[in-house]
Amino acid sequence: MTPRTRAEIPQARRIVVKVGSSSISGGNAGQIGPLVDALAAAHERGAEVVLVSSGAIATGMPYLRLDARPTDLATQQAAASVGQNLLIFRYQDSLDRYGIVAGQVLLTAGDLEHATPRSNAQRAMDRLLALRILPIVNENDTVATHEIRFGDNDRLAALVAELIGADLLVLLSDVDALYTRPPHLEGAERIAHVPFGDALAGVEIGSVGHAGVGTGGAETKVSAARIAAEAGAAVLITATPLVARALEGAELGTWFDAAPVRHTAGEDSPHA
């Protein structure tokens, strides 16, 4: 069921959780364990959980002796190739504590733009979930090009939620919620609730991502939240350290109401 309030989150059947690069790489790599704890708790109560995880390039950078995110496509692809392997290993190593098996799913924008690969991706995801596997999704940075990229994994997570008919999308970052203006500025107030269709008039939404590691920010999260909400999923935006409380239904973060009528990517979504 699609939760109508945060209190109903524990009843959600299918949940997509997205985590950004800055939350699980570098000095924050230790947050993988607590994140897995939260996902495992939802899995244990019967939810079907999908994790959309950024971080392949950031994880691979130290092994290529890079101090900053590479700007050229070939080096980004190389870093992603090394980092994706290490990232999945770290997740699986943590999931082993709960006897949960991860499945790696790498997608490009083209996979969700065309009917045949989109149907294949949907079928694979449905089967993994039916087998109680925890899919870990990322953009296939090793083969993606600038022209066909999703742009950020917030959008990818929204499209995955749409693809599988998720009840809930949780977008995690290092900011606990959306604010009426960048949270470091005086007068910024937390936005607790966004009714479906609310244009957020008067709200200063800007990109506040970590330029050296990730690519997303508040603007991409609002855009992704709207895609998922239009597809019929409720959306919660909050900080990675709060994920356990979020999945338990605590009153935190920013909540986006879902559309009253659900649709999926199989209906030729304009967002694919």
Binding residue ranges for substrate? 54, 141, 153
Binding positions: 18, 54, 141, 153, 173-174
User: Are residues 169 and 157 in contact, defined by beta-carbon separation less than 8 angstroms?
Assistant: yes
Measured CA to CA in angstroms, residue 122 lies from 33, 51, 80, 135, 207 at distances of 28, 15, 24, 12, 31
Which residues touch 131 (CB under 8 Å, ≥6 apart)? none
The amino acid present at 248, given as its one-letter code, is E
What residues are paired with 191 via a beta bridge?
178
User: Are residues 192 and 255 in contact, defined by beta-carbon separation less than 8 angstroms?
Assistant: yes
What CA–CA distance (Å, rounded) separates 10 from 215?
30
User: Are residues 29 and 21 in contact, defined by beta-carbon separation less than 8 angstroms?
Assistant: no
User: Are residues 85 and 138 in contact, defined by beta-carbon separation less than 8 angstroms?
Assistant: no
Binding positions for ATP: 18, 173-174
What CA–CA distance (Å, rounded) separates 128 from 195?
33
